[in-house]
C-alpha cells in the first residue's frame, strides 16, 4: 500500500443560527471550517498543516480521527473509506490512529494515575492480562523518557513537558500507524519544546510512524515535517515537500507566512509587514480566491474563480491563478 491516509474533498460546515425575536432559530449561514480539502499521507511520512487561527487545521484533524462527522468527502485509511466502515474495521482504524492534544493539562484525567491512563487503550483493544499491560506501560514510560517510578503518580505531579510525554506514551501504546498531533508543543517552553520535538522525531523514525502535525509555528513544522500543507480559510493553498516549500514558496500566502517569522538574528530585521489585514470571516468568505483580500497580486480573475490545486512541479501543488495561468 503506497498511501496510508487519503483525504478526498473533505468538507465540514458548522451552521450559525440567528434568533428571530430571540426565540425562533433561523439558519444564518455556515462557517466553512473545512472546504474541499484533499491530501495524502504515506507510511512513515510526517505531514504538517500550517495556517493562521481559524484556517480549519484543527477541524481537519478532528474529522480524520472522527471526533467530527464530515459533511461530505472521503477519508481513506489503507484503501478503505473510514466513513463507511463496519464496526470491526472501525475499531481497527481507531487502534491505528491516535491523537495527541495541544493542552497536556486538560487531556489527562486528573483523578487517574498515569499508569492506568497510558494502559487504558490496551485494555480496550487487546486481551492482554493486567500484568502484561503493566509491563508494556513501563516499557513505554522508559521509551518517552520517564521513569517506571512515575507509574503511580497523578497528572498534577508532572510538569507540562512531562505531561506531554505521557500523552505521547498513551498515543503510542497501541503501536498505531498514524499519530495526529494538534499543536503538540505550542504550550511548552523553549527548552522543553526542543526535547519533545526531538522525542517525536526519534520515535517516528524508530517505529516508522506517520504523523499529521498541526501547528501555527512555521519553525516547528519545518523541523518535524517531510511534507507541508498550507491552509487558509478552510482551503489548502499549497502542498509541497519541506525543502521546496521553504526554498521555493509559490503561493503569495505561503511567502507571507514564511517572511512573517521573526528571525532570531538581529542583523536580518523585518522592514515591512509581509501580510496586511486579518483573516476574513469564514461565514462569508471572499468570492473566488479566498486569499485575494490580502493578496497584493490579486486581479479580476481572482474575484471570479476559485483556483484549483495544480501540480506545478513534481509533488508541489499550488492553488493560485497567478501561477497556474502563467
Closest approach of another protein to the CB of residue 267, in Å: 7
Closest CB to another protein among 31 and 275?
275
Residue 260 φ then ψ, to 5° = -80, -15
Task: Tell which one of 194, 255, 293, 301 touches another protein (CB under 8 A).
Answer: 194
Q: How far apart are CA 160 and CA 277, in angstroms?
A: 34
Could you give the strand order of the β-sheet that contains 227-232, starting from the edge strand earlier in sequence?
97-100, 178-182, 210-215, 46-50, 227-232, 235-241, 316-318, 310-313
Taking CB under 8 A as the rule, does residue 276 contact another protein? Answer: yes
Is 57 a binder of another protein (CB under 8 A)? no
CA distance 294 to 45: 32
Q: How far apart are CA 65 and CA 264, in angstroms?
A: 36
Our finding on whether 72 is near another protein (CB under 8 A) is: no
Report the alpha-carbon distance of residue 74 to residue 77 in Å, rounded: 10
Out of 21, 53, 88, 131, which residue is the one contacting another protein (CB under 8 A)? 53
Residue with Cβ nearer another protein (51 or 70): 51
| Under rule CB under 8 A, residue 191 binds another protein | yes
Region from 22-30, 107-115, 127-135, 238-246 binding another protein, contact rule CB under 8 A: 238-246
Task: Identify the residue among 72, 109, 135, 159 touching another protein (CB under 8 A).
Answer: 159
The neighbouring-strand residues paired with 19 are 25
Give the HSE-up count for residue 326: Cα atoms under 13 Å, Cβ half-sphere: 9
Strand-pairing partners, residue 97, are: 178
Could you tell me which residues come within 8 angstroms of residue 233 by beta carbon, excluding any fewer than 6 positions away? Answer: 32, 35, 54, 55, 56, 279, 280, 282, 285, 290, 291
Query: Which of 114, 138, 168, 220 is close enough to bind another protein by CB under 8 A?
Result: 220
Stretch that binds another protein, among 8-16, 17-25, 89-97, 193-201 (CB under 8 A): 193-201
Stretch that binds another protein, among 18-26, 27-35, 120-128, 260-268 (CB under 8 A): 260-268
Name the packing angle between helices 160-172 and 130-143 (round to 10°): 130
User: Is 198 among the residues that bind another protein (CB under 8 A)?
Assistant: yes
203 binds another protein (CB under 8 A): no
- Binding status of residue 263 toward another protein by CB under 8 A: yes
Residue with smaller CB distance to another protein, 44 or 73: 44
Rounded least distance, CB 242 to another protein, Å: 7
For position 149 contacting another protein by CB under 8 A, the verdict is no
Q: Measured from the CB of residue 195, what is the shortest distance to another protein in angstroms?
A: 5
Beta strands of the chain (E only): which ranges?
5-20, 24-41, 46-50, 72-77, 80-81, 97-100, 178-182, 210-215, 227-232, 235-241, 310-313, 316-318
Q: Does 255 bind another protein (CB under 8 A)?
A: no
Task: Pick between residue 116 and residue 201 the one whose CB is nearest to another protein.
Answer: 201
Residue 256 within binding range of another protein, rule CB under 8 A = yes
161 near another protein, judged by CB under 8 A = yes
- Written as nine digits, the cell of 79 is 484503501
Q: Which residues bind another protein (CB under 8 A)?
A: 52-53, 159, 161, 189-195, 197-198, 201, 216-220, 222-223, 242-243, 246, 256-267, 269-270, 272-276, 278-279
Amino acid at each position: 500500500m503506497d498511501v496510508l491516509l487519503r483525504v478526498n474533498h473533505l468538507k465540514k460546515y458548522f451552521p450559525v443560527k440567528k434568533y428571530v425575536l430571540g426565540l425562533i432559530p433561523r439558519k444564518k449561514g455556515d462557517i466553512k471550517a473545512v472546504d474541499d480539502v484533499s491530501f495524502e499521507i504515506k507510511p512513515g511520512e510526517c505531514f504538517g498543516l500550517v495556517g493562521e487561527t481559524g484556517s480549519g487545521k484543527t477541524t481537519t484533524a478532528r474529522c480524520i480521527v472522527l471526533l467530527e462527522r464530515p459533511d461530505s468527502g472521503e477519508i481513506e485509511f489503507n484503501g478503505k473509506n473510514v466513513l463507511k466502515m463496519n464496526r470491526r474495521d472501525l475499531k481497527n482504524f481507531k487502534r491505528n490512529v491516535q491523537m495527541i492534544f495541544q493542552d497536556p493539562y486538560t487531556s489527562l484525567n486528573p483523578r487517574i494515575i498515569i499508569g492506568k491512563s497510558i494502559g487504558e487503550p490496551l485494555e480496550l483493544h487487546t486481551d492482554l492480562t493486567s500484568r502484561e499491560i503493566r509491563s508494556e506501560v513501563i516499557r513505554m514510560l522508559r521509551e518517552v523518557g520517564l521513569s517506571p517510578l512515575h507509574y503511580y503518580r497523578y497528572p498534577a505531579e508532572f510538569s507540562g513537558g512531562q505531561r506531554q510525554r505521557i500523552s505521547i506514551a498513551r498515543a503510542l501504546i497501541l503501536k498505531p500507524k498514524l499519530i495526529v498531533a494538534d499543536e503538540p508543543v505550542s504550550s511548552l517552553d523553549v527548552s522543553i519544546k526542543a526535547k519533545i520535538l526531538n522525542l517525536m522525531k526519534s520515535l517516528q523514525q524508530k517505529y516508522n510512524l506517520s504523523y499529521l502535525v498541526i501547528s501555527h509555528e512555521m519553525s516547528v513544522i519545518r523541523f518535524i515535517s517531510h511534507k507541508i500543507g498550507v491552509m487558509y480559510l478552510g482551503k489548502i493553498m499549497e502542498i509541497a515537500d519541506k525543502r521546496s516549500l521553504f526554498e521555493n514558496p509559490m503561493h503569495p500566502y505561503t511567502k507571507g507566512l514564511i517572511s512573517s517569522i521573526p528571525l532570531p538574528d538581529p542583523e536580518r530585521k523585518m522592514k515591512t509587514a509581509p501580510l496586511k489585514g486579518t483573516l476574513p470571516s469564514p461565514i462569508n468568505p471572499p468570492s473566488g480566491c479566498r486569499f485575494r483580500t490580502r493578496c497584493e497580486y490579486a486581479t479580476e480573475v481572482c474575484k471570479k474563480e476559485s483556483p484549483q490545486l495544480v501540480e506545478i512541479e513534481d509533488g508541489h501543488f499550488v492553488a493560485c491563478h497567478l501561477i497556474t495561468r502563467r
